Amino acid sequence: MSLHIAHRAAAIAPSQTLAIDAAAKKMVADGMDVVGFGAGEPDFDTPPHVVAAAHEALDKRMFRYTPVPGTVDLRKAICEKLKRDNGLTYAVDEIVVSNGAKHSLFNVFQAIVDPGDEVLLPAPYWVSYPEMICMAGGVPVIVETYEKDGFQLDINALKAKISSKTRALVLNSPSNPTGVVYNRAIIEAIAKLAVEHDFYVVSDEIYEQLVYEGEAVSVATFGDAIKERTIMVNGLSKSAAMTGWRIGYTASNKALASVMSNYQSHAASNPNSIAQYASIAAMQPSPFVGEMAKAFKERRDYMVQRINSIPGLSALKPEGAFYVMMNVSGVYGKSCNGTQITDSLTFSSALLKDGLTAVVPGIAFGIDTHVRLSYATSMENIVKGLDRIEAFVKSLT
């Protein structure tokens, strides 16, 4: 007899990159010098003034539960940030603070998606979006974007996927994994479609402060009608290098914020009290993110130039975030020690084994011609890793 597993849990697919990630970690544990390009977090320390605020919270013995959607002071700071940086006015009761932006996204899909509802999802996409949609009983409807178009979303392709079941569109700009920053015209067109067809826009803006070309435009800025239908998701993991602190938040209409708060109250209660206090300090204007972005831009420029100098490989220059999508389809059909490279998984596996370099297979993001490299690592590691990638590609037969 086997014990029952709920269908909704059993149906969630494991990450297609887990085997490679586990192999890379084992190699490191065994003392091997593996260069990792998989990091989804800044390699900078959390700013000292934020750490000092956490110490202050500890000294004040702020150890108790807070309101489920976050402390009033933190939500006020978020409202001030949204007004200052995005030109958007929100009330405190329209903000819900959660245990990281991933938790915020989970709350969003649970709150708006019923079984059978469709959610438009541009590809390449972040690996957790389709699974979160499915966990809510929804159906991800993939809208392809293409390298030849700079991974910009084609509005006509988007229109073709809208149906009577469309509940929401996921908008991630700057994007993980492509680094694309959607231009203003595309964002405005998305806003008009959402209002016309009455669906939500789940606007994941976690990388908004890491933009090197163009501008990060909030879809909610295109009028009250779209603002009412926008669920903005953001956090401090990227802009303040606070990945482990687990603070994310949503800004939405009051009714939806209340639903998400109620849902969170039964699932996780409130976010960490100490991290919330420190996040108030992190919300204030600081030169930190500009300094970090400058370093990322320098690394990006070097990484893209090096990749494009290697025969068989190519990469567009991303406009934001800290990832490069490297097109490796030019080496498909070649072999490494008898193993043929046929897709992003076989390329990544062979590169790890023979080149001691870990990248993320593009199939995890819905694009099997590419692999993702993060430049949230030191320039020394970037140089070493790209030297290894070049040598690996040249060794293929």
Please count the structural domains in the chain: 2
In this predicted structure, the answer to whether residue 18 has a pLDDT above a threshold of 70 is no
Looking at every residue in the chain, the average pLDDT score rounds to 96
Residues 368 and 251 in one domain: no
Residues 267 and 293 in one domain: no
The closest alpha carbon to 113, from 8, 188, 193, belongs to 8
Whole-angstrom Cα distance, residue 148 to residue 369? 13
Give 173-231 pLDDT, tens digit per residue: 999 999 999 999 999 999 999 999 999 999 999 999 999 999 999 999 999 999 999 99
pLDDT at 310: 98
Output DSSP code: residue 271.
Answer: P
Would residue 2 count as lying in a domain?
Answer: no
pLDDT at 17: 61
The closest alpha carbon to 238, from 317, 176, 190, belongs to 176
Beta carbons of 270 and 350 less than 8 angstroms apart: no
What is the C-alpha end-to-end distance of the chain, expressed in Å? 50
Residues 355 and 206 in one domain: no
Choose one of 282, 311, 334: the last residue of a domain: 282
Give 93-122 pLDDT, tens digit per residue: 999 999 999 999 999 999 999 999 999 999
Beta carbons of 180 and 318 less than 8 angstroms apart: yes
Residues pairing with 371 in the sheet: 326, 361
Give 350-377 pLDDT, tens digit per residue: 999 999 999 999 999 999 999 999 999 9
Provide mean pLDDT across the span 291-295. 97
Residues 306 and 268 in one domain: no
Provide mean pLDDT across the span 50-71. 97
Residues 303 and 184 in one domain: no
pLDDT at 1: 56
Whole-angstrom Cα distance, residue 243 to residue 355? 29
* Residue 362 lies in domain: 7-45+288-395
In this predicted structure, the answer to whether residue 9 has a pLDDT above a threshold of 90 is no
Residues 22 and 53 in one domain: no
Residue 14, SS3 per DSSP: coil
Residues pairing with 147 in the sheet: none
Output DSSP code: residue 210.
Answer: -
Whole-angstrom Cα distance, residue 375 to residue 42? 9
- State the amino acid at position 314 in one-letter form: S
Q: Residue 358 phi/psi, 5° resolution? A: -105, 125
pLDDT at 222: 98
Residues 137 and 211 in one domain: yes
Whole-angstrom Cα distance, residue 205 to residue 174? 7
Residues 143 and 253 in one domain: yes
Would residue 371 count as lying in a domain?
Answer: yes
Residues 194 and 318 in one domain: no
In this predicted structure, the answer to whether residue 127 has a pLDDT above a threshold of 60 is yes
Provide mean pLDDT across the span 255-264. 98
Choose one of 221, 254, 282: the last residue of a domain: 282
Percent of the chain having pLDDT more than 90?
A: 91
Give 309-325 pLDDT, tens digit per residue: 999 999 999 999 999 99
Residues 32 and 91 in one domain: no
Q: What six digits make up the tokens of 200? A: 């939500």
> Global pTM?
0.95
In this predicted structure, the answer to whether residue 327 has a pLDDT above a threshold of 90 is yes
Provide mean pLDDT across the span 262-281. 97
